[in-house]
């Protein structure tokens, strides 16, 4: 699948969905999708997860920019070593695409549009957030698995 397909797919899906929500909902408005379990709830988030560090726009712009650059650098390094991992490369694309999706919001409007609400989950989120979390979990599992296997074989 490579890096670019998930990267572009996440950015496009994220930006399209946010534009749809901003055009069709008022801030705070909600719509049930699957009863109370899954809803669209339009929020503008000036901070990070759970609204933490609201007002630290330039910090988040910097972190997003560095994250995208690091993911692309790691992808290019992996590619230069031969056949890159079929799991790690798309995971990097998910993380970078999610970071770019939220970066576009922060640069354009100083907040990030969130709209996905899942019952019993403490935050409203968006497609970019989901991609970052899924990609990070995959990368974390790969790191733990690699570290475990290296330890088993006497490596670092």
Q: Residue-wise pLDDT tens for the chain (156 aa)?
A: 799 999 999 999 999 999 999 999 999 999 999 999 999 999 999 877 666 777 788 898 999 999 999 999 998 888 777 666 788 999 999 999 999 999 999 999 999 999 999 999 989 999 999 999 999 999 999 888 876 666 665 544
Domain count, the chain: 1
What count of other Cβ atoms lies within 10 Å of the Cβ of residue 87? 14
Longest dimension (CA), the chain: 58
Q: State the pTM of this model.
A: 0.87
Q: Provide the domain limits for residue 136.
A: 4-152
Q: How far apart are CA 58 and CA 56, in angstroms?
A: 6
Q: How far apart are CA 41 and CA 116, in angstroms?
A: 6
**Which member of 114, 117, 128, 135 is catalytic?**
114
Per the annotation, the verdict on 114 as an active-site residue is yes
Per the annotation, the verdict on 129 as an active-site residue is yes
């Amino acid at each position: 699948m490579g890096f670019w397909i998930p990267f572009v797919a996440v950015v496009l899906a994220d930006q399209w969905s946010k534009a749809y929500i901003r055009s069709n909902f008022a801030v705070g408005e909600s719509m049930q999708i699957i009863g109370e379990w899954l809803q669209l709830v339009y929020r503008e988030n000036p901070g990070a997860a759970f609204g933490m560090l609201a007002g630290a726009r330039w910090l988040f712009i910097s972190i997003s920019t560095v994250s995208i650059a690091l993911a692309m650098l790691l992808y290019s390094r992996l590619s230069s070593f031969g056949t890159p991992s079929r799991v790690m490369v798309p995971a990097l694309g998910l993380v970078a695409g999610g970071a770019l999706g939220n970066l576009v919001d922060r640069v354009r409007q100083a907040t990030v549009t969130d709209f996905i609400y899942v019952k019993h989950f403490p935050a409203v989120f968006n497609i970019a957030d989901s991609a970052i979390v899924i990609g990070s979990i995959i990368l974390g599992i790969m790191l733990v698995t690699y570290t475990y296997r290296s330890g088993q074989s006497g490596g670092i």
